[in-house]
Amino acid sequence: MKMAHTSQMGKDGKSMTLLLKKALVPGSYTVKWSAAGADSHRMGSEFSFKVK
């Protein structure tokens, strides 16, 4: 499910913050990301977290 959000890059250009428009209900969530480096090489991964 896609979630409405705003995003902001960190000052170091190496971190990103996503602010969700709605509160998350308790449960397990997975964040999947993908990005291209300066050489256009694509990469991606995922990580999970829980909201209690």
Can you give the binding site for Cu ion, defined by CB under 5 A? 37, 39, 41
CB-based contacts of 47: which residues, under 8 Å, 6+ apart? 30, 31
Phi-psi region at 11: left, alpha or beta (left = phi > 0; alpha = psi -120 to 50): alpha
Q: Quick one: 30 or 34, whose CB is closer to Cu ion?
A: 34
Q: Quick one: 39 or 46, whose CB is closer to Cu ion?
A: 39
Tokens 């509160």 correspond to 23
Q: Quick one: 28 or 40, whose CB is closer to Cu ion?
A: 40
Q: How far is the CB of 36 from Cu ion (least distance, A)?
A: 9
